[in-house]
Amino acid sequence: MDDLDKHILALLGADARISIATLARRLQVARSTLQARLERLESNGTIAGYTLKLGTAGRMGRLRASVLLSIETRAQAPCLTRLKSIPEVERVFTTSGRFDLLLEISAATTQSLDAVLDQIGAMPGVRSSESLIHLSTKIDRAV
């Protein structure tokens, strides 16, 4: 990946809806060059897709939480399968340390958040869980 690829990714990270013509103009490259670069970045897996990032107004009224899970040996694959079926589970990370998985979840109400936490805690293979409810965002550098 060269500097042009990195600049393409940075601009798309800031605004994935930017037009190819505008992107080519900002990068001072031909539109055909940019199109070829995008196709290559998509085909080699660097760009997995284009998505929507909700702003503050879009996240209003949503409760967010991080859940740390300790999983029994050999139970990770079945747990991940079950977690994929829970729409409130937005991201799952493997971790090192005391916990095996870190989940990011979002729910509309405290009741639905509570129900999701109960559902996750009751899954076969889950040894223990710890929930951290997000109160406010102080820094957000995520692309």
Question: Using one digit for the tens of pLDDT, what is the confidence trace for 94-117?
Answer: 999 999 999 999 998 999 999 999
Residues paired with residue 67 on neighbouring β-strands, in sequence order: 103, 131
At residue 10, the pLDDT reads 86
At residue 59, the pLDDT reads 60
At residue 57, the pLDDT reads 59
Cα–Cα distance for residue pair 133/104, rounded to 1 Å: 10
Cβ within 8 Å of residue 62, ≥6 positions away: 106, 107, 108
Q: pTM of the prediction? A: 0.62
At residue 16, the pLDDT reads 84
Mean pLDDT, rounded, of the chain: 90
Compute the average pLDDT of residues 73-85. Answer: 93
Tokens standing for residue 141: 């550098």
Q: List own/partner pairs for 49-54 with CB under 8 A and 24 or more apart.
A: 50/12, 50/16, 50/17, 51/16, 52/16, 53/142, 53/143
Q: Where in the chain is the domain with CATH 3.30.70.920?
A: 56-133
Cβ within 8 Å of residue 67, ≥6 positions away: 102, 103, 105, 117, 120, 129, 130, 131, 132
At residue 124, the pLDDT reads 95
Q: Where in the chain is the domain with CATH 1.10.10.10?
A: 3-43
Cβ within 8 Å of residue 65, ≥6 positions away: 104, 105, 106, 107, 113, 117, 131, 132, 133, 134
pLDDT single digits (tens) 10-62: 888 878 888 999 999 999 999 999 999 999 999 999 998 887 666 665 566 78
Q: Which CATH class is domain 3-43?
A: mainly alpha
The CATH number of the structural domain formed by 56-133 is: 3.30.70.920
- Amino acid (one-letter) located at 83: L
Cα–Cα distance for residue pair 65/2, rounded to 1 Å: 37
